């Protein structure tokens, strides 16, 4: 039986999400680290690169497809039905976070436009509502939607350009995720911190108005 291989970028939220799912499922895998932050020309597309998951002859190059495949094969209860909550992250929360942080991290600008912050805050408000009732993104147990959200939220925490204190449900949810995801510091925390360092090396709040 072949061992799963994950070629991933520790500072990339999509890579962190698949890494966390592998640990949650308790699977044996080989982790091949690729650097995003050293010795390359940074672009938003480069920093948001997807990991590559290989399982035998199967190769998956999209993080959400990889998470869906792993969950369907090893723990179907982690799947999200309907899938809207999973894809809310890529189409709203992650997308709007990326609009704010990637240009700064790439050195294209030192500031985050107010309209982009406001759009991100609206997505955070919706995510805060999602976690209000049962404490998870969807239903009363963790799904791959929670894991995907957590990779984005951890990067936001590390970049620290938006006050997250007002999103009480999300804060409680995030602390729960950190406790429930095995090896969270290794699979997500360290990479998010590295991304935050990159962002804050270039970010200047002084010039914003």
Report residue 82 as tokens.
């309907």
pLDDT of residue 176: 95
**Chain segment 22-81, per-residue pLDDT in tens:** 999 999 999 999 865 554 545 555 555 689 999 999 999 999 999 999 999 999 988 866
- The set of residues, in sequence order, having a beta carbon less than 8 Å from that of 164 and lying 6+ positions away, is 124, 156, 157, 170, 171
The answer on pLDDT for 177 being more than 60 is yes
Mean pLDDT of the residues in the chain? 89
pLDDT of residue 61: 92
How far apart (Å, rounded) are the C-alpha atoms in residues 200 and 148?
A: 23
Q: Which percentage of the chain shows pLDDT scores above 70?
A: 87
Is the four-CA dihedral 111, 178, 168, 142 of positive or negative sign?
A: positive
pLDDT of residue 41: 46
How far apart (Å, rounded) are the C-alpha atoms in residues 71 and 65?
A: 10
The answer on pLDDT for 82 being more than 80 is no
* H helix or E strand, kind and range, residue 29: strand 29-33
Q: What predicted TM-score, i.e. pTM, was given to this entire model?
A: 0.90
């Amino acid at each position: 039986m072949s061992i799963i291989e994950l070629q991933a970028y520790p500072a990339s939220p999509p890579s962190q999400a698949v890494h966390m799912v592998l640990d949650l499922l308790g699977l044996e895998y080989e982790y091949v680290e690729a650097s995003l932050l050293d010795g390359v020309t940074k672009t938003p597309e480069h920093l948001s690169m997807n990991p590559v998951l290989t399982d035998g002859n199967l190769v998956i190059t999209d993080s959400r497809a990889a998470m869906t495949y792993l969950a369907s094969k090893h723990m179907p209860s982690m799947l999200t039905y309907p899938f809207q909550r999973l894809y809310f992250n890529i189409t709203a929360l992650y997308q709007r976070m990326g609009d704010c942080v990637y240009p700064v991290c790439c050195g294209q600008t030192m500031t985050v436009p107010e309209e982009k912050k406001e759009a991100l805050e609206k997505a955070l408000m919706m995510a805060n509502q999602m976690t209000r009732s049962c404490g998870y993104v969807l239903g009363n147990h963790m799904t791959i939607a929670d894991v995907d959200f957590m990779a984005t939220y951890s990067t936001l925490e590390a970049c620290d350009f938006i006050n997250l204190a007002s999103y009480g449900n999300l804060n409680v949810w995030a602390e729960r995720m950190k406790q429930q995801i095995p090896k969270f510091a290794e699979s997500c925390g360290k990479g998010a911190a590295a991304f935050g360092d990159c962002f804050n090396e270039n970010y200047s709040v002084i010039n914003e108005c």
